[in-house]
Chain A
């Protein structure tokens, strides 16, 4: 059985102009309890790879450049 890709709109959004992951920062990836953030090979910026979010906010609170915003997942809003 092949696997399908079901789209979801992710709650964690990264402002790529502010994100300094391309300069070596990994703070948001490091602190996420669910380990759902990654640095993109294409852009060098952080992004939410897995939609498995507790909307708990360490990624936003600990980001040194205020690049991360945690939204409430659509299904809960």
Chain B
């Protein structure tokens, strides 16, 4: 098939190049650029490659910017100890505090650095940071008035630090050496299908969430909450490289604007007096901060007959509602304004209908990620992970920046002390054969149909409440689809080839979601892991991480004890996030 196509964009071309570097960073969204930048700052002689499936200028979750920091630990407003305690409680006790604590200690210096990059943070009349309370206990939300400039500011720094940027290359597999250490990655050009082997002394993965796992209820495959480019490659690559993944059963499920499927942004609206309400205009949860416990109450309200659930701003002064609307329609997801315009909805006049998102993996909002320690190290030596795909819970954008910086600095030191790891050269040929198999077929099933089917099955069977019998059915159906993918998937150009590689990641993530969920025989994290067959939490048996990994070619799970808390949690504090429901209505 390769030779008969004409030259041009998307035409498949045979090709294999090899480069080497000290540090390879995969993913140029939020954590990746910061990791690459900090690595170069720390060691200006090091060769650092930043690989990006799209274009670093506009890639990742913050493609258009971000309206604020959701987890800023700022002296005078909160302490690292308070924040660590809050996130431990929000994540239902399953938290290795060392990584959260380190983030909380470092993030203020990152805010100062971002400020130097030209990103502004809101200050009050006294020149103090204007931090807002959104979480259940502490105060951590800081608006960013020019948040639409974040990606441009990052890009300037990458150019200044002379990071080597390779756009439109999608990493498909990590290379590991005979000792199990990271040795680099194999990548495919998304516009030609040509291969690139990158040998590296250390690798940092920053590939974002698995956001294309569930299917949005609109039926539009790319209308996901997460940037749909984030299709879970990091999770799949880490799995195949032998790394352990933590708490994948703690799904990401978010309260969103219905159909538009973007954030309703109670974080922005809450401090102005906006809140989540039912169809009787009543507030039913005390705290709009996203947690599994809050999502459970959201779900219960929808089931109770008091739904739909709305974002309510129409009780506020028109100027206030219009101001919130302006923020929400300018930054992060600016097409939201166009959506409401077409619907004829004004925040000052109507309540805005919300719903529950499709499921995904994303530690940025929940806790499902590749297992990392406080230095962003995975369980594979020389392999790091940061941002939405790494296991530090409730990490958001500032967590991606901070842990990206931590990963970059640690990894570049690691790389200075080691030589290139030898890897089995046959791995490249095997990967080429796997990736290119759909290009060799004259007939078959296109990747979009296989993807739709996987994601439809995810919705049908894996969305909570989690029912054991449904999960087992799902595993059987996913195995059938896997056979179709491996034996019958067909692509006609390089663009479809990229989609076919994404399908493989999505299917791996669906299998991991099912496997990890079945292993944890209790309910935890509210809606995120609500198992109808095991409706109660069992701290005795399950106050631990579940680690999933590839053992002898198959998925396996194990328990890992939660590290002893650095910041103790009192018995009367640990259930604070379960006390969300407002029982007596005013």
Contact = CB atoms under 8 A, between A and B. Distances in A.
A68 to B, nearest CB: 12
A55 B335 contact: yes
B263 to A, nearest CB: 13
Contacts of B499: 52
Contacts of A52: 221-222, 228, 499
Interface string A33-77: 111001000000000011011111110011000000011110111
B191 interface: yes
Given A3-B446, A54-B227, A61-B334, 17 more contacts: A33-B229, A34-B228, A35-B498, A38-B9, A50-B495, A52-B221, A52-B228, A52-B499, A55-B338, A56-B63, A56-B333, A58-B63, A72-B335, A73-B220, A77-B339, A77-B342, A77-B343
Contact of B259 (A30, A61, A76): A76
28 contacts: A31-B55, A31-B58, A32-B54, A33-B58, A33-B63, A35-B495, A49-B495, A52-B221, A52-B228, A54-B223, A54-B224, A54-B228, A54-B229, A55-B223, A55-B335, A56-B63, A56-B227, A56-B335, A57-B64, A58-B64, A61-B334, A62-B58, A70-B335, A72-B338, A73-B223, A75-B218, A75-B219, A76-B223
Interface in B49-84: 54-55, 57-60, 63-64
Q: Is the interface of A mostly helix, strand, loop or mixed?
A: loop
B57 A30 contact: yes
Interface residues of A, number: 27
Contacts of A57: 64, 334-335
Given A70-B335, A76-B223, A31 B57 contact: yes
Interface in B260-302: 260-261
B260 A35 contact: no
Contacts of B456: none
A38 B228 CA distance: 19
A12 to B, nearest CB: 11
Interface of A: 1, 3, 30-35, 38, 49-50, 52-58, 61-62, 70-73, 75-77
B346 interface: no
A53 B222 contact: yes
Interface of B: 9-10, 54-55, 57-60, 63-64, 168, 190-191, 218-224, 227-229, 259-261, 333-335, 338-339, 342-343, 443-444, 446, 495, 498-499
A10 B171 CA distance: 29
A1 B219 contact: no
A33 B59 contact: yes
Contacts of B228: 34, 52, 54
A30 B334 CA distance: 20
A22 to B, nearest CB: 16
Contacts of B58: 31-33, 58, 62
B228 to A, nearest CB: 5
A76 B59 contact: no
Most chain A beta-carbon contacts within 10 A, residue among B58, B222, B260: B222
A76 B218 contact: yes
10 nearest A-B residue pairs (beta carbon):
A58-B58, A75-B220, A31-B58, A55-B335, A33-B54, A33-B229, A76-B218, A75-B218, A52-B222, A76-B259
Contacts of A35: 54, 168, 190-191, 495, 498
Nearest to A70: B335
A72 B342 contact: yes
B27 to A, nearest CB: 12
A77 B223 CA distance: 11
Contacts of A75: 218-220, 223
A9 B195 CA distance: 34
